[in-house]
Chains A and B, each alone.
Chain A
Amino acid sequence: MELFSTRDLGGGFRLHLRRTRAFKTVTARLVFHADLDEDAAARALVPRVLARGTRRLPSLRDVQIELDRLYGASLHGDASRIGERQLVHFQAEWVKDALAKEPLRARMGQLLAEYLHDPATDPKGGLRAGVVEQERKNQADEAAAIFDDKARYARHRLLEVMCRGEPYARPSIGHEKEIRALEVGDVRAAHAALLAHAPADLFVVGDVTAAQALAFAKGLGLARRRRIAKPRPTRFRAAPPRVRTVVERQKVGQAKLAMGFRTSVRLGSPLYPALVLFNALFGGTPVGKLFKKVREQASLCYAVHSVTERSKGLVLVNAGIDAKNYVRARKLILEQLDDLGRGRITAEEAKLASGVLLSAVRGMRDSPAAIIDFGLERAILGLPADLDALLGELRGVTADDVARAARTVKLDTVYLLRD
């Protein structure tokens, strides 16, 4: 069964509702879609600027006080990416009616609509230049701070090197340089373009009826738009014939190893469920080979794991190691991949990995954020958001399928950060 009932409201705007009484809160996430391109930095700045105040509540203080009064409701803006699609989010969460002394839904709907359409402006009617400048600095500083989290930085650099020339090399908030170069006019234009032309999805999870959700959605004023943009699909590349290795030096105590692989399998491919299971067996779970062999047996690291960037066809491995063990760790990690490709998977390993995986997928229903992430990822590709179907597919994966999926995973780039 699909998790959401979906309704196309016209104007490139869809409403996805999951009505459930499981949660004490209602979560509403509005998502605008765009290409992950050179305007990404400006678009990512829009929710930051809008959060600084509306005409009715012109300062951050006014907005926050209103949210406190609404029983600590929250309204956050953010940018992320799925494949080469940039997503600009506005997420509202409030305590459900039965728990607050006043109904909060209508007030949160009003506040979100005000955020979008009625922000605080300067006398000429544009977004306030001072606020734009300050938030531009904050966003640029956030990009600069990636450097401070070494595991994250290693992954960031790996993707910059590996995906040079591809849109995927760009972080969801843009490069630091791009952000610092933004002008006030760029952000005003990005705001106008998002509202006028960007396709949008509203996800609502909680104890809300279809009629209530529809009223909330209509109040956002997005249904009657024309000339809706069509974001490009993500493009894929194969791994180069020769593996690139990049070593960079900083004054760090622990070295960070980041390895980037490409695969032709991605969300929507027939082998996709096998890739998911492959990753659980490789480094996606503590019963996978990376944890067992590289950490527990060889005692080489504390943190080691793999993730799939399933909308871009990448598998990324990260490990924190002693620099002197780099060659050994790299070799050991590649041996695990090779073993999986040769089908060296014991019945025990397969049972453990699929057990953990199926249980985790089933449990996604218990988290509003997980449900919405799943729905969004599927909505982008036009796939049904059906957990039961995914579970069925995962159950049907054979060891042979996993080996086939593993053989599609080819090393592209190795990045090492060390002292």
Chain B
Amino acid sequence: MGNATRLPSAGRTTVLRDRELDEEVHCRVFPSGLTAYVVRKPEFTRSYATIATRYGSVDTQLRTNGRTRRLPDGIAHFLEHKVFETPEGDAFDLFASRGASANAFTSFTSTRYLFGTSENYEDNLRTLLDFVFDLHVTDANVEKEKGIIGQEIAMYADDPDWRIYFGALEAMYVRHPVRIDIAGTKETIATITPELLRDVHRAYYHPRIMALAAVSPAPVEATFDAVEERVEGRAFGPPPGPRSALPRESRRARRRQAEVRLAINRPRLLVAFKDAPPPKDPRAQLRLELASSIAFDCLFGNSGSIFLKLYEAGLVDDSFSGSYTAEASFAFAMAGGETDDATKLRATLERELAAALGRGITKEEFERTRNKAVGGFARAFNSPERIAQMLASHHLRGTTVRDYREILFALKLPEVNRRMAAMLAPAARCYSLVLPK
């Protein structure tokens, strides 16, 4: 759980106001432990809500009754598929019957369920709050899912962008489960049973580690009332205890380079930077994340010094992109794209990274890159989806959108430069390639 002292006490609602953006975030923590965030958008037609649990693919252990079990790879994602089964049929259909489109996704550290609708918001919200807490698995529906997910895994195996991403993670990490594909493999999911799914669901779908984020034209109370009605009456087991610590790895990349060959035309190269896990304090973590993202954007963004050099030299094209990722137990950055000549690109990158380290980021680069981030933050409020996912992500980290704005304005150039110097350390660097067969 994040920094609990910053959240309101149970039952009370706090409001975060952003006068410039003209937005308000209402937040309430319920006695069950569920935290709910609501942004009212009367000028919008659609409503969007997401419920997230702090359980993802890196949570490979399950502790029950003092016993710790190693879970099969891919089980968080498998469970995400199965949560949609209800005794009355598919939850997709329940949503659809009220005009909503539902979906879900599993990341390294969270599983999120969501729906968007232009009608019957409150009924759809009740469906969302019901189905995630009720698991209906049978031998037959678990077996059937193995075929479907098997094809999902096969699809990603042919996808060069997915392969290069996991190639980089495998090259960076030795033991940390972030190196394992979120969907697992055909072999690992073959061992999944209804019992195991029930155990995992009981442990990791607990309101204390979950958050709801909703954006709707409906009054704020409508969302809180639905939580009160559907979640607060339920019996939950004891809140999940502390999890086994994930392996702490050195900054050194496991391998210098990973390479895979696929039936493609265009070679691809990714440079990856293994970073130290962020500090425990949520605000400190966010600050580090923002400083690192800005440093990375100064090098690899649309106006980034390295990106522009590579682009103008014809070594990369507009398929090039990069980003910084930080979660509680790991952090890394990656940048890359299609290229004619992966060897030459790699050599040029090495040279440019050394030059960037020597040069540092200038005050001017820093200021305009931050300006861009300010605009990006405002732009995110265009979309109910983005707002809700942003609120959920902040909650999982233990911060708020207000922290984001405050820290963004408080950042100083020297810390951005320190982040750049730390990230670009040569031992922490590795490459992932996907080449034509």
Asked if A144 and B149 make an inter-chain contact with CB atoms under 8 angstroms apart, the answer reads no
**Which of A121-129, A237-245, A293-301, A406-414 lies on the face that meets chain B?**
A293-301
Please name all residues of chain B whose beta carbon is closer than 8 Å to the beta carbon of A302 when the two chains form the complex: 148-149, 151-152, 155
Tell me the chain B residues, 33-47 only, with Cβ under 8 Å from chain A: 41, 43-46
- Chain A, residues 231-266, CB within 8 Å of chain B (1/0): the string is 000000000000000000011111000000000000
A284 to B311, CA, bound (A): 38
Q: Which one of A137, A148, A253, A296 lies within 8 Å of B264 (CB-CB)?
A: A148
Cα separation A363 to B379 with both chains bound (whole Å): 18
Q: Let me know if A384 is at the binding interface, CB within 8 A.
A: no
A215 part of interface (Cβ distance < 8 Å):
no
B199 at the interface (CB under 8 A from A): no
Contacts of B193 in A (CB 8 A): none
Which B residues are CB-close (under 8 A) to A367?
A: 383
Q: Distance in Å from the Cβ of B190 to the closest Cβ of chain A?
A: 14
**Contact between A71 and B375 (Cβ–Cβ < 8 Å)?**
yes
Q: B residues within 8 A CB of A95?
A: 375, 378-379
Q: Please, how many angstroms separate the alpha-carbon atoms of A20 and B43 in the complex?
A: 9
CB-CB under 8 A from B312, the residues of chain A are: 59-60
Task: Tell me whether A24 and B46 are in contact (CB under 8 A).
Answer: no
For window 158-181 of B, CB contacts with A under 8 Å fall at: 158-160
- Rounded to whole angstroms, the CA-CA distance of A9 and B374 in the bound complex is 36
Partner of B96, one of A68, A144, A353, A362: A353
Q: Report yes or no: A254 in contact with B266, Cβ–Cβ below 8 A.
A: no
For residue B319, CB closer than 8 A to chain A, the reply is yes
**B15 sits at the interface (CB 8 A):** no
Those of B94-152 within 8 Å (CB) of chain A: 96-101, 116-119, 144-145, 147-149, 151-152
> How far, in Å, is B118 (CB) from chain A's closest CB?
4
The docked-state distance in angstroms from the alpha carbon of A362 to that of B46 is 8
Please give, as numbers and ranges, the residues of chain B lying within 8 Å of A254 by CB-CB distance: 151, 154-155, 157-158
Determine the chain B residues whose CB is within 8 A of the CB of A145 once the complex forms. Answer: 265-266, 319, 338
Chain A contact residue count (CB 8 A cutoff):
69
Does B53 sit at the interface, judged by CB under 8 A? no
Q: Tell yes or no: A287 within 8 A of B by CB.
A: yes
Which of chain B's residues has its CB closest to A20's CB?
A: B43
| Complex Cα gap A299–B159 (Å) | 21
Nearest opposing residue in chain A for B261, CB measure? A251
List of A residues within 8 angstroms of B101 by Cβ: 285-286, 356, 359-360
The docked-state distance in angstroms from the alpha carbon of A95 to that of B160 is 35
Given contacts A22-B43, A65-B303, contact A252 B263 (CB under 8 A): yes
A252, B147: Cβ atoms under 8 Å? no
Cα A367 to Cα B119 with chains together (Å): 17
Q: Is the Cβ of A322 less than 8 Å from the Cβ of B151?
A: yes
Residues of B close to A351: CB separation below 8 A: 97
Is B14's CB within 8 Å of the partner chain A?
A: no
A141 at the interface (CB under 8 A from B): yes
User: Are B96 and A355 in contact, with the CB atoms below 8 A?
Assistant: yes
- For B318, what are the chain A residues with a Cβ–Cβ distance below 8 Å? 138, 142
A367 to B116 CA separation, bound complex (whole angstroms):
13
Best-buried of B368, B375, B382, B383 by chain A (most CB within 10 Å): B375
Measured CB to CB, the closest approach of chain B to A328, in angstroms, equals 12
A69: CB under 8 A from chain B?
Answer: yes
| 19 further contact pairs, Cβ within 8 A, besides A94-B375, A300-B151, A362-B119 | A24-B21, A60-B311, A61-B308, A64-B303, A69-B368, A71-B374, A98-B22, A134-B314, A137-B314, A142-B317, A148-B265, A149-B159, A352-B96, A355-B99, A359-B99, A359-B119, A362-B118, A365-B45, A366-B44
Cβ-closest 6 pairs across A and B: A72-B375, A71-B375, A64-B303, A359-B99, A72-B372, A299-B147
Chain A residues in the interface with B (C-beta under 8 A) = 20-25, 59-61, 64-65, 67-73, 93-95, 98-100, 134, 137-138, 141-142, 144-145, 147-151, 250-254, 285-287, 295-296, 299-303, 320-322, 348, 351-353, 355-356, 358-360, 362-363, 365-368
